[in-house]
Structure 1
């Protein structure tokens, strides 16, 4: 059995015991680079640990997803505007010289932020274009699969009735994926 050559991994001693902390730090907005500094591990080693240890990836994902959700919620809030209640303590000096405290609550409205709206719309367009690309890939895959099935159907030596049933199924599939289906599938 070959013995590993090189420096001993710090995962067990420096990373594994800190998984909950890593998640918490990432939730608070720290970068992975700053997490590396905190736990005393190089960024290159951290990258290797992410490849090797799924629990580290889970901890990172949990922390970053939480932060992502908070940012998304804040962005949405800024994009549509919101209200909040501002509380302030007012100290009045009475004619007698005594001081009287009173608390004022005022509802404030923050108007929608044009920059937040633009950012949201840009992000939405990017996601839509990725969905469209994915749909295009799915259509190409379905077209290729339909072609394979057509070739297989052509090679089968079956009765004319069975061949027609197979061709009918292929035509239906072609119609679904937008290839048409008006022409006979065996031609």
Structure 2
């Protein structure tokens, strides 16, 4: 190629594609549209390109694909609400209800627990807190406890004027036998469990039966008790004894 050809090639104007004309100038706008919730079809219309062209550009141009990347539900639905999730677990809310509150599928919930140690630790810790609270309440019920009962009393004087009086009474809740039994069976099962396992050595008994059977087969004479019965002939008229 001659120098004149190279020079003319350099001076030749570049043909602009639709990507150069419509997409590159709007690369900063596209992430904003994505956050606003626009679909790919709506974004394509704003860029004056066909939806198929948008898909083609996404495959060919990494910057465009990055601009179109949508946040996951972890970023939009779960991560911003970690404090609420912790509170729900501490209140004893079931995970199925939590999933509905977050607006995600159960499979997505468990996928995020596997992928994000932050969520896994939160779930584990929150469940341990509620379990600890239940154990404390069970122990109190098993050992007995004092509590304060508050009553709000509305009184009316002779003139019909009403006044409110708060009355506090200390009471004692005696130990609950059912709670005591449940606690002891779970905390000290070896001493308090009603279940008793009885192990019977059946192997020795089986060997003894087999040996007895072999002894009977190998024996030349098998003794048996018997009783001799005298034979008689019976006729229609009566008994006809053969030796008569």
TM-score range for the pair, normalised by the shorter chain length:
0.5 to 0.7
Aligned to 2:88, which of 9, 21, 25?
25
**CA drift at 1:92:** 4.0
Alignment of 1:134-149 (within 5 A): none
CA RMSD of aligned residues (A): 2.5
Per the normalisation by structure 1, the TM-score is 0.56
**CA drift at 1:74:** 1.0
Any idea what SS the aligned residue of 1:29 has? coil
Aligned to 2:126, which of 63, 73, 80?
63
**CA drift at 1:93:** 4.1
Alignment of 1:33-52 (within 5 A): 33-52=96-115
Matches of 1:102 and 1:20 in 2, distance apart? 39
Describe the shift of the 1:102–1:40 C-alpha distance in structure 2 as closer, same or farther (beyond 3 A). closer
Report the count of equivalent residues: 121
> Are residue 15 (structure 1) and residue 78 (structure 2) matched?
yes
In structure 2, stretches of 5+ residues that fail to align are: 1-70, 192-244
Describe the shift of the 1:112–1:36 C-alpha distance in structure 2 as closer, same or farther (beyond 3 A). same
Per the normalisation by structure 2, the TM-score is 0.44
Query: Of the two structures, which has the highest relative contact order with CA contacts closer than 8 Å and spacing of 6 or more?
Result: 1
Residues 81-112 of structure 1 show CA distances to partners (whole Å, capped at 9, x for unaligned) of 11111122334444555555443321111111
Runs of 4+ in 1 over 2 A off after TM superposition: 89-105, 125-128
